[in-house]
Structure 1
């Protein structure tokens, strides 16, 4: 390199010298990082030897690892349990009846009579005809059409149902009513109504039996004389289940079941039994059985748990250390501390419990590596825990007596159809009332349709005035669409303070009014009048009740199909724009 003086002289002679690009040769190479061991034995490397043991002990003392407790690891657990088998159930306000786990408990509680829509009537008739031989089918098809014919002028029954009306018009002359045929079979008048020839009576009776069995096999339905389980005042199901116990009868109540999934947390212990009337078909009650089991406890493992071994790599699916918790996220901080600090303090005792069994834990004794035995008591058994008497999976908050675990014969998952019917109960504060809005109504085709589109909106908008010179007019009151059914606040007891919402009706528009507006679904027409809904059941957020088909496969392989109801939180308050005594400008 030239001296600086020479470099300065060169720059003065050529000022653009540093602006030129000088290309220098470069060699770019990529090498893979890989191990080059110098020995074939890695035993010493895997020891993780520490050269300064005193420094390691000092660090352990600073971090508090030398402050140990006399807490040995469990090596044996003895569990004493008593198993009770529920054998009777009471649905709603009905009497107790025998029960076993051959049917899922949800289907036993929720099932209701499947309505015979026009589509189901045609389907039942077609299936009944397919059971016949070709000769008998050709012979009795005209007789069935004559005996169980559809009404030929029932178009008004399908008002607002486009698909249902088209199905009715296409089948009213070609098919017969399978529902009426089934009613005649159950009434014992089928052979006389057709009529059936004496030579064909045996074959027809075989077809009739197969037809009735097909319908019972298709749907899970309650007996015809069964009382309703749905509580129309509280908008939920209620049931009680009981099991023989050493002290008499153990009764479990589920007074408020409405979310469509029945599990142990819906039940609570109650006083009193459920006597079942003796009959020839009532099975003998199963006596309680006690069981003593010995287990080897195993540590609890979960994703993201710190590993106990030194050289074991932790999985990266869950990183509890990366939780982004704020100072007010106490629950998240407790969860992280439980997983990272106390994760290795939990042990699992495996225990197999049959379905439809109430397990009473009579005692749990744990033996540790020091030979000490500890009687493990319930978390809420201490007498000073009165303000927080709660225990996971426990059916009662009592401080004495056995802890009970109920494993009901319920379903883990079901297939749910689109809503057959959905009613939204909402509060209208401006009108000081509650509206039951039929969002979805059942159709004659067997499915649900939009209730807003099917509703008659005649009269919702003011009628224009053409022959009056007046500039204003007096309006007695407005109206609402037909799918808005009113509920008025009322006192159920004379002189009482409790308010309930009573089902009312809106008049149909006309001069004079033709009739009252009637609901089109089952949810609003099933209860007998007067119908009161408790005030607390319809909060300011509202509530929604849905009817839909449920399909599930039980553990023995059988398939159950039934219609159930489900309740969920609404979407807030609403406004119907219902007004009275209005002065409005005349529209021409």
Structure 2
């Protein structure tokens, strides 16, 4: 027979909603004070031991392989010296790469000549080498001088024939490193250290991705994608950043997977730490004991939480009920590693009476509350991977003004999306403001009085490039870059070097728009050396925009 269980519950009924009189704990007599202590559990001795020491054991497996792009393969070795976001964001390099502009090539070439002339080398050999460098690596735009602007032409007039292109020289030395046994450009073997020092200086100032291999930047998704690999004993673990949009790289950008062919080298660091635990505290947190003097910043009577304010109620509950049950145990882990905890042993004030220290369950190893953990990596199958991943990134970097800026917007009036080039880089290292440099379209001559004039469409600025929706296959929509009146993009963001027309997925341009920029970034690696690279960022836009484009216009 089914039964009905009932019970009686006692609930307090307050005369007002103000908690301050009760929290004041006004003392009327000692018996009342003892009763209040008993009511708040001050005399409760169940599970009242306090931790005295904590011993943590584990291991940290360092990242040893890096693979750009989504392709499979072993990747390249990674030693952690260069920050990971710098390596992933760096643009592909080459002898005439736009990642290093004309000004950078001139400055690096001038520095090479300065080092050669200052070194203790025969003057005749240095003079012959300088002549060969100027002939073999001339400073220029590789046959595009006719398309250069006036400022670039003046820049080349001053420097052409006086300094070589340092970008092309570095590309040659990377392909064939200088050695004392094989002198280059007629230099004696003693010049090899000079060339090596110059190449190290160049690499520090111009961090570029490898010329061969896939690019980490996906122009159709406007995001980076790369992977790193580490060896956990004999098992391989791959951590993939599927959709890194630039900026601050953190562990949340990675997804864990099994072996993918990266073949990382084992690099394990054992971890052992015995320390004193510290209670978890934060400013404004109430005291742990009821009769302890409170901080003046505590005002629990002013905590207001609606039924939907779950986060605020959780913080208040943690501060008032569970705060004294949490302790913090510091553990130093190496950067660029995946840390796994193998055991946590706690010694408390009751250890001698209860038979010794307590071995705690590992994070995520139990059920219910014991399964709870933080900083767990997601997996490709939707599961969770325990362990703390600390990516080898910079604490902060210096960012230049945008070298290039493109605004992607929706134009509901014209039923189009637009790529608006606001800023583009010039060959000699400056920035051109296309919004201010683009002359307004000439208005057509008005028709004679009393007549009508038909116009196929209105004019739009030359830096507004239309993104026409196309459907390459059913259900998949893309935005294809087109042009009006022969207008073409001048920057690199809209010319990624892909074969055919430039397309991006339609969902990448939301209603609020998107801003894509290229900037110089400067930071220091783990060895203290400076790193300079060119990165791309995607940020929210400024809403929709109106280009003024209209079709089939009849004017009087």
TM-score band w.r.t. shorter chain: 0.7 to 0.9
Determine if the alignment matches structure 1 residue 119 to structure 2 residue 106: no
Partner residue, 1:87? 64
Q: 373-382 or 357-366: which moved more? A: 373-382
Partner residue, 1:130? 114
Shift of 1:541: 1.6
Residues 203-352 of structure 1: matches in 2 within 5 Å?
212-246=199-233, 248-276=235-263, 285-286=265-266, 288=268, 291=271, 293-308=273-288, 316=296, 318-319=297-298, 321=300, 325=304, 327=306, 329-352=309-332
How many positions carry a matched residue from both structures? 500
Partner residue, 1:550? 521
Q: 299-308 or 424-433: which moved more? A: 299-308
Greater radius of gyration (CA): 1
Q: Residue 542 of structure 1 contacts residue 573 of structure 1 at CA under 8 Å; is this kept in 2? A: yes
Change in Cα spacing, 1:326 to 1:370, as seen in structure 2 (3 Å) is closer
Q: Residue 304 of structure 1 contacts residue 314 of structure 1 at CA under 8 Å; is this kept in 2? A: no
Partner residue, 1:507? 484
Q: State the superposition RMSD in angstroms.
A: 4.0
Q: 135-144 or 570-579: which moved more? A: 135-144
Shift of 1:52: 5.2
Residues 531-546 of structure 1: matches in 2 within 5 Å?
531-546=502-517
Whole-Å separation in 2 of the counterparts to 1:149 and 1:408: 39
Whole-Å separation in 2 of the counterparts to 1:399 and 1:180: 50
Whole-Å separation in 2 of the counterparts to 1:520 and 1:309: 68
Q: Residue 139 of structure 2 contacts residue 163 of structure 2 at CA under 8 Å; is this kept in 1? A: no
Unaligned runs of 5+ in 2: 1-26, 174-183
Determine if the alignment matches structure 1 residue 58 to structure 2 residue 38: no
Give 1:411's match in structure 2, choosing from 389, 394, 411.
394
Q: 113-122 or 569-578: which moved more? A: 113-122
Q: Residue 242 of structure 1 contacts residue 274 of structure 1 at CA under 8 Å; is this kept in 2? A: no
Change in Cα spacing, 1:177 to 1:217, as seen in structure 2 (3 Å) is farther
TM normalised by structure 1 equals 0.73
Give 1:576's match in structure 2, choosing from 536, 539, 547.
547
Change in Cα spacing, 1:347 to 1:482, as seen in structure 2 (3 Å) is same
Change in Cα spacing, 1:315 to 1:155, as seen in structure 2 (3 Å) is farther
Whole-Å separation in 1 of the counterparts to 2:190 and 2:47: 82
Partner residue, 1:20? none
Change in Cα spacing, 1:470 to 1:149, as seen in structure 2 (3 Å) is farther
Change in Cα spacing, 1:380 to 1:583, as seen in structure 2 (3 Å) is farther
Change in Cα spacing, 1:384 to 1:582, as seen in structure 2 (3 Å) is farther
Whole-Å separation in 2 of the counterparts to 1:199 and 1:119: 24
Change in Cα spacing, 1:177 to 1:418, as seen in structure 2 (3 Å) is farther
SS state of the match for residue 275, structure 1? Answer: coil
Q: Residue 78 of structure 1 contacts residue 366 of structure 1 at CA under 8 Å; is this kept in 2? A: yes
Partner residue, 2:493? 523
Give 1:488's match in structure 2, choosing from 468, 491, 516.
468
Change in Cα spacing, 1:121 to 1:370, as seen in structure 2 (3 Å) is closer
